[in-house]
Amino acid sequence: MQFLRTIGESVYSPDFYRALRARPLSFSLKYYYSLAAIVAVVGTAFVSLYLPQAQPQLRAFFENAVNAFPAELAVTFKDGAASANVKEPYFIKYPRALGGASETGGSGAADGKPPEYLLVIDTASPLSIEKFRSYGAAALLAKRDLAVAGRRGEVRVYSLELVPDVTVDKAWVEKTVGQFTPYLKFVGPILVLLFFILILALFTFELVYLFVSALLVWGLLRLKGIKTGYGAAYRTGIHAITLGIFVNIAAMAFQIPLGVPFLFTILMLAVVAVNCRKEGIVSSSSPLSSS
C-alpha cells in the first residue's frame, strides 16, 4: 500500500516532493526499479497470453519455407559470389501462406498488396537497382549482392562476401529446418525472458536519459525560485517521470498514437511545475546533490 501511495504522490503531492529533501537517492532508485519490476511482470504476463500461438506459427512458417522452395532450384555460394542451376532471371512467387496472390488473383494480404515475387535470382549480371524495382520483388539475388525492398520504398543491399561456401537446395532447406524444429518448444520461455529484460532495459535507459533532462528540471526549479543542486533535480525527475510512464503504457495498451513531440519530457516538467514550490525543494545531502 505504501508503494501504491508513493506512485500517486509522485504524480501529485507537493508535500511528498517537499519531503524528498530529507531522503537519499537510494529511496528514489528503489521506488523506480520497483515500479519497473511491476511493469515488467504485468507486461510479460500480458504478452505470455499470446505466446501459445508462437510455436505453431513458427512451425507453420518453417513448413511453408520448405514447401515454397522450388524442387528444381539449387543456388551455390562460393567465394562471395552466387550462381544458380536454372535459367535466369528466375522468379519465385510470393507464397500464399505469407499473404501472396491467390490462384484466382488478388492479394491475400488484408491491408495492402505484397510484392508479386518473393525472390528474383539474377546472378548472371551485376546488381541493378532499376532492374530490381522493375521486377516488383521483395528481394533480388545478384552475383555478389542481395537487394531487399524496404517498407518505405528504400532498397537495402547486402554483400555476399561473408556468406560461407554452400549449396542451397530443397534438401539443404529441409535439413536446416529440421535442426531448428526440436528447439521450438523453448521459444515461449525465451520470449518471456527477453521481453522482461527488454522492459527493465528500457527503464534503465530512461535513467540515463534523465541525466540530460534533469538539467531542464534544475532550470525549471531555478525559475521558480527554488535554489537546489543537480542531484536533487535528478532525484525529483525520477519521481516526476511516473506520469509519463503510465501515459506511454496506456498509449501502447490501447494503441493510441502519441503525436506530440517530447511528450514524455513535457509531462515530467509539468509534474515538477505543479508539485515543486519555493518553500519545498532545497538542496539535499544526496551524493548527486550540489549546492
Helices 230-240 and 263-275: crossing angle, nearest 10°?
110
SS3 content of the chain, % helix, strand, coil (to 5): 55, 15, 30
Helix (H, G, I), strand (E, B) or coil at 143: coil
Is omega for the bond preceding 89 within 30 degrees of 0, making it cis? yes
Q: Find the domain containing 6 and state its range.
A: 2-49+188-275
3-state secondary structure of 10: helix
Considering the domain architecture, whether residues 93 and 40 belong to the same structural domain is answered as no
Residue 140 included in any domain: yes
- Please tell me whether residues 194 and 160 are part of one structural domain: no
**What pLDDT is stored for residue 96 in this prediction?**
66
Q: Are the beta carbons of 277 and 21 closer than 8 angstroms?
A: no
Element (H, E) at 121: strand 117-121
Q: Which three cell numbers stand for residue 19?
A: 519531503
For the segment 131-155, what is each residue's pLDDT rounded down to a tens digit? 898 888 999 999 999 999 887 778 9
Q: pLDDT tens digits, residue range 238-266?
A: 999 999 999 999 998 888 888 888 999 99
Residues 146 and 199 reside in one and the same domain: no
How many domains, the chain? 2
What is the end-to-end Cα distance of the chain in Å, rounded? Answer: 34
Residue 59 within any structural domain of the chain: no
